[in-house]
Amino acid sequence: MTWGWSTYNCAKLPALANYQQAKEHYEKVIPIRGRSQVVKPLGEVRRFCWYRIEKLVDAVQSEAEPLGVYRDIYACTLHGEPYILFMPDDTIEVKAHKWQSPTLRHFLTYSLRAFGQVESFRGKWYFINKAGNSYLLSQKDKSLILKKDGEYYVPTNCEVEKKYKADRKAMNKILKRYKTFMDYGRTALSIDPKVTRLQPAKVGHGLDFGNVQLVSHYWRNGEVVTANRASLIRALDVFNASGDLNLAYELLLYVAYDAGHYSYRDMQATCQPISFDNRMKEVFKYYFRDEVFTSIEQPIGVAFFDANAKYFR
């Protein structure tokens, strides 16, 4: 409760509905005394001072306006980051591109409750207006611009979402291309699932056992994982052309070490054939995603979850 992530409005955040209300609220809030900067708590419970109402001065960027014209923007901030901005033209900018935490979601929901709320749909955040329509709140550096259309607020820059559908024929074609290595790996691990870790100097073709990561995880998706997958595919193409069993063995250990698990009790890494098979299919889906998946645009205003979207992040 102290940190504001409970399911009720412990800070008593106001439900500001438009620019005029935000301006009036800012002007009536008394700053906290003894601070080196102006701190105006957003809620009635002033000890929750990380929720603030702030006035931002922004230069007007328009060909119709002369230089030196400025506008006042009133922002609801959390830990100094503005997430809700009330504009003079009565549009409302909502951001959620930083760390999407329970604290941030409840902060947005209680601050926006005059005309909507924020809900998480299996990890995807949506702004839901009073009509019940859901609009994606992107975690990228992109804001949702809301404007009142009749009775409800709707976004003027809503992102069109896509759903990705796997093509079985395309996937089977890729599996057929690498069938020799897949059969070799499953057979070898069914005989002995123990995995010996190679020395980094022994592995060529751009593969490095010092950093074995082939599948992206929530906290470690990045260039290293993408580069490892590309190096593995190139090495597999070399094996297909040469039939070098020593190379196949090294690649098997590389994949198995990533797909298996390490037992501290036995001081040994092991990988079952099914784990190897699943990891290779995941690698193919990531690397050949443009061949395996087709994108289908979804209707705006409807929340949905797509398990295949992870291959395109």
Query: Strand, coil or helix: what is 148?
Result: strand
Under the phi-then-psi rule, with left for phi > 0, alpha for psi from -120 to 50, and beta for the rest, what region is 255?
Answer: alpha
Average pLDDT over residues 292-303: 94
| Whether residue 93 has pLDDT greater than 60 | yes
> Is the Cβ–Cβ distance between 286 and 228 less than 8 Å?
no
Q: How far apart are CA 25 and CA 40, in angstroms?
A: 10
Helix H or strand E encompassing 207: none
Q: H-type helices in the chain, by residue range? A: 19-28, 102-112, 168-177, 179-191, 223-242, 245-259, 273-287, 289-292
To the nearest whole number, what is the mean pLDDT of the chain?
86
| Whether residue 98 has pLDDT greater than 70 | no
Q: How far apart are CA 130 and CA 110, in angstroms?
A: 14
Average pLDDT over residues 83-108: 88
Q: How far apart are CA 310 and CA 200, in angstroms?
A: 29
What is the pLDDT confidence band of residue 1, given thresholds at 50, 70 and 90? very low
Domain residue limits, the chain: 19-158, 164-292
Gyration radius of the chain over CA positions: 27
Percent of the chain, pLDDT > 70? 88
Could you report the per-residue pLDDT of 141-176, keeping only the tens digit for each? Answer: 788 999 998 889 999 988 889 999 999 999 999 999
Query: Strand, coil or helix: what is 45?
Result: coil
Which pLDDT score is estimated for 216? 76
Average pLDDT over residues 192-221: 68
Could you report the per-residue pLDDT of 234-281, keeping only the tens digit for each? Answer: 999 999 999 999 899 989 988 998 898 888 887 888 999 999 999 999
What is the pLDDT confidence band of residue 122, given thresholds at 50, 70 and 90? confident
Query: Strand, coil or helix: what is 87?
Result: coil
